Amino acid sequence: MGLLDYFRNSQPKGTANVAKERLQILVAHDRAERHRPSYLPKLQREILDVIRKYVDVDMNAVSVNYEQEESHEVLELNIILPDTVRNMM
Amino acid sequence: MVPRRCRHTQEEGRNLARIIVITSGKGGVGKTTTSAALSMGLAQRGRRTVVIDFDVGLRNLDLIMGCERRVVYDFVNVINHEANLNQALIRDKRCDNLYVLPASQTRDKEALTKEGVGRVLEELSQGYDFIVCDSPAGIEHGATMAMYFADDAVVVTNPEVSSVRDSDRMLGILASKSRRAETNAEPIREFLLLTRYDPQRVETGEMLSVKDVQDILSLNLLGVIPESKAVLTASNSGVPVILDRESDAGQAYADAVCRFLGEDLPHRFIHAEKKGFFNRLFGG
């Protein structure tokens, strides 16, 4: 690092901070996946099958979310019904 | 009074070896270098130690340990009852307390059965203080066998995104697919060993720092091994780098061994050497 660089580089311009931010997001995501019960994908498929007996919903219309909190677990189901169903009711 | 051979086994009330897996997920981060250094360090401090190569088909530990020409029988031969342990174990010529159990170069990795590995480790447990398992890269059969029976895990990590991510993945597997996890025993003790660390690049913000990696993995830090020319020199000649006492990497490994045995040592080689005024002025 020369004299001019010394004045120019007032703050670190490395990419380590980018690496750290990306890792923090990625690792949090990986860990959330890891702690999900293994039956979730099957559960999602079966729920979808039942709903599709009655309503023509899209494959992606059911989202299953699993969250672990200190004393309890939350299993959240979100089903998006198509517009036509609402019109029929 | 019964002589205290090993602190950890005494704590558990049984006089069996402590099984240490050297793991990482990612390849090329320094697992075999670490296995060789750590096992030599433990043996030099008077602990009867055996180091086992679990990388069936791609054996390299014997090369790093410098005993490749003395391999007659291997780990798979012992598992298949084609040889007994005494025939397969290679005694290190530099340290009487150290033995190497090489991997097979020709077999399929499936040759490591859980029963077979368990039986060999059980037999070794009677006569040693430490069994160091050098895991292959990846998360497949050889790697899962190397970690299954572990009491302690040393997770070797480079300050680099893919290595840190893979290490985190390995921690998940250690916590769910090991014998200790399956039998609800006390969890495996996990240690972080950060290797190929370049303090200068950390200071210019080009490389993840010890703290960055710790913020993500939050493990017990066993040591930081600086990027060092001594590592290649050591592997070229089949000498575990810990025997190069002059080198930074050798000293860092020696510190890590002391920490593993319970000593509280400050971490070295994590700050860049200060440049002189003239160096800073004119670049260097």
Tokens 């798979």 sit on residue:
B76
On chain A, the residues whose CB falls within 8 A of the CB of B282 are 2-3
- The answer to whether the CB atoms of B282 and A12 lie below 8 A apart is no
Whether A14 maps to a domain, the answer reads: no
User: Does the CB of A80 have a partner CB in chain B at under 8 Å?
Assistant: no
Q: Tokens standing for A67?
A: 């969250």
For residue range A1-58, what is the model confidence (pLDDT) as tens digits? 556 655 555 555 789 999 999 999 999 988 888 877 778 778 888 888 888 888 888 7
- Tell me the per-residue pLDDT of B11-49, one tens digit each, with 9 for 90 and over: 444 578 999 999 999 999 999 999 999 999 999 999 999
Beta strands in B175-218 (DSSP E): 189-197
Average pLDDT on B235-241 reads 97
- What single DSSP character describes residue B110? G
Contact A51, B189 (CB under 8 A): no
Q: Read off the tokens for B241.
A: 């780098």
Kindly state whether residue A12 falls inside one of the protein's structural domains.
Answer: no
| CB < 8 Å to A14, chain B | 201, 204-207
- What does DSSP say about strands B18-23 and B98-101: parallel, antiparallel, or unpaired? unpaired
Radius of gyration of the CA atoms of chain B, in A? 19
From A15's Cα to the closest Cα of chain B, the distance in A is 5
pTM above 0.80, yes or no: yes
Please indicate, yes or no, if residue A40 is contained in any of the structural domains: yes
- A34: domain CATH number? 3.30.1070.10
- Check residue B7 and give its pLDDT: 46
Question: Cβ distance B205 to A12 under 8 Å?
Answer: yes
At position B66, the amino acid (one-letter code) is G
Q: How far apart are CA B279 and CA B243, in angstroms?
A: 33
Closest Cβ–Cβ partner in A1, A14, A22 for B205: A14
Rounded Cα distance between A21 and B143, Å, is: 29
Residue A27 lies in a domain: yes
Residue of B nearest to A22 (CA): B161
By residue range, what is the domain housing residue A70? 23-80
Each residue of B82-117: pLDDT tens digit?
999 999 999 999 999 999 999 999 877 788 999 999
CA distance B31 to B281: 40
SS3 content of chain A, % helix, strand, coil (to 5): 55, 15, 30
How many independent structural domains does chain A possess?
Answer: 1
Q: What is the mean pLDDT of residues B66-92?
A: 96
Is residue A88 less than 8 Å (CB to CB) from chain B?
no
**Cα three-residue angle B247-B251-B255, rounded to 5 degrees:** 170
Asked if B172's CB is within 8 angstroms of A3's CB, the reply is: no
Q: Does the residue A13 lie in any domain?
A: no
Nearest-neighbour CA in chain A from B188: distance (Å): 18
Exposed / middle / buried, residue A70 (Cβ in 10 Å: 0-12, 13-18, 19+): exposed
Residue A6 lies in a domain: no
CA–CA min distance B192, chain A (Å):
16
d(CA B180, CA B148): 8
Helix axes B161-176, B210-217, angle to 10 degrees: 30
Write the residue in B164, B204, B280 that is nearest to A14 by C-beta: B204
Quick check: B205 and A16 CB within 8 A?
yes
Is residue A63 in some structural domain?
Answer: yes
A44: distance to nearest CA of chain B, Å?
Answer: 24
Please give the Cα distance from B10 to B16 (Å, whole number). Answer: 9
pLDDT value of position B275: 64
In a domain, A60, yes or no: yes
What is the predicted pLDDT for the residue at B279? Answer: 65
